[in-house]
Amino acid sequence: MSPLEILLLLGVVGLLSSRWCPPRARRPVALAAAAVVAVSGIVLTVRGLRWQMAPALAGVLVALAFAVPVLAGRPARRVRRWLALPGVVVCIGLVCASATAAWAVPVPVFPGPSGPYAVGTAVMQWTDVSRPEPATDEPGDHRTVVVQLWYPAPKGTAGPRARYLGRTEREARTVADGLTGYIGVPAFLLDDAVRARTGAVYDAPAAAGRFPIVLFSPGLGGVRTQNTAWAEELAGRGYVVAALDHPYDSAAVVLDDGRTIRTRVVATGDDEEDRRLATGWTAVRAADLSFVLTQLGRLDRGEIRGPLTGRLDTARAAATGHSMGGGAALRAARQDSRFAAVIDLDGYPYDPAPGSYHQPVLALTHPVDPADNPSYIPRLTRILSLSTSESYRITVPGAAHLTFADAPLYMPPVPSVVGSLGRTGGLTVTTAATMAFLDATLRDKPGDLATLLRPYGDLTVHRPVRKDDTGNRDADDGHDGLDRVRAGRPAPGS
């Protein structure tokens, strides 16, 4: 809550309690409380009153019923307890409702990057003329993606901070309406996210140097900005993050010409049919990731205008994603050897014909109950075992599916939805684990990666399995390809 909102609530309580103050103090307390309510209410209204304060404003009306006689200087009459008590209870309940709503659905605050760089951001729109748009039958309609870049900028870079959900307030509102419509909740719940500003500066100059690239695909129906806090932290530490909007999949994508493309992704209720559809969606997303990596190469060479010419090291690129985006990242890596590493943030792999691939993988998952999803962990384990590089899976205690996105910063703290790690705990774990992995795989930073990853949860190390002389898969040195580490300590014999 902002200081003005706290003052408003205190003013309501002051109005309510003035009638029960000592006689000499009643009118001064009531006048002071009324002034606080009036000033804070007017300023909040001018700035944009948050919906969370609506109950408190209703409480003002109830409190005034008690305070008007005192404000007018008339002697306070005794009110029968059966009349006064309900009014007091209602007023206090309204104040508490506002305080609870403001706590449960706060304005998202994006931590400033802790690395040596400031963060710039830019939005690009690219069309792949070699691919028809699979979601339409319109002739000449080619696949178009919108990409937001977060990149290192010189320390001390100043300028207006970028909005969270879009380049303009109108775009942010359109995206918020798309998201709330997609998940079926009231639109006003994302009002604060629409107003929120992040730590990045639009179109800031890039810092000197060449930086590794992290491509990101959001969750099903998700949007490019859903992991902004994570992206900005990576950019502040010397990475370029390129997050995609996938048209007809992301909840709402606003194109450069002003058109808005809404999602066409809907569940059928038939598990087999939904699995088939998801397989197709991840194929499109994987192709989008490869296309964007190609475009980033053109941007680096100056064939596309932008702030990152000569700043992108496309030979050090990771495919990453959350939920379905994580599955798409795994699929993109198998199909495109240009990717050097993969990060899967709680994503089910839908690849129908998985084969061997060379990239190391980091998979972060929430604790999965086999009774709820019996195929997730076995399927993910199988996919990780197909890599010819060492890969890692971390089960993060206290995490939920949305822990690995920005959701805990502004959604109600319901453990089943956002986990139990607090507003920033999930971001801290996700950033620390992915940074350790990226530094080791893209920057060849020395150190035992398994040791570095152990503090962040229950770690399983998937070691590459060699083939014997007959071509049969043989466990390396007597291992089954898996080493497990729990709670930061190696399991016996590992």
Over residues 80-101, the pLDDT tens digits come to 544 566 767 888 888 888 888 9
Over residues 282-314, the pLDDT tens digits come to 999 999 999 999 999 999 999 999 999 999 999
CA 87/CA 68 separation, integer angstroms? 14
Model pLDDT, residue 479: 38
Instruction: With cut-offs at 50, 70 and 90, classify the pLDDT of residue 236.
Output: very high
Residues 6+ apart with CB under 8 A from 36: 7, 8, 10, 11, 14
371-387 average pLDDT score: 93
311 vs 21, more confident? 311
Residue 371 pLDDT exceeds 70: yes
Residues 6+ apart with CB under 8 A from 112: 199, 236
Instruction: Identify the CATH class of 118-490.
Output: alpha beta
Over residues 101-155, the pLDDT tens digits come to 988 899 899 988 889 999 999 999 999 999 999 999 888 899 999 999 999 999 9
159-171 average pLDDT score: 95
Q: What are the extents of the domains in the chain? A: 3-104, 118-490
Model pLDDT, residue 178: 95
Model pLDDT, residue 65: 67
Model pLDDT, residue 34: 80
Model pLDDT, residue 193: 94
Residues 6+ apart with CB under 8 A from 402: 408, 411, 417, 418, 419
Model pLDDT, residue 245: 97
CA 460/CA 491 separation, integer angstroms? 10
Closest to 249 measured CA to CA, from 261, 260, 231, 267: 261
73 vs 371, more confident? 371
Model pLDDT, residue 95: 84
Model pLDDT, residue 45: 79
Q: Which two tokens stand for residue 164?
A: 């969270």
* Cβ atoms of 153 and 205 closer than 8 Å: yes
Q: Taking the model in full, what pTM does it have?
A: 0.87
Q: Hey, is 339 helix, strand or coil? A: coil
State what percent of residues in the chain have pLDDT above 70.
89
Mean pLDDT of the chain: 87
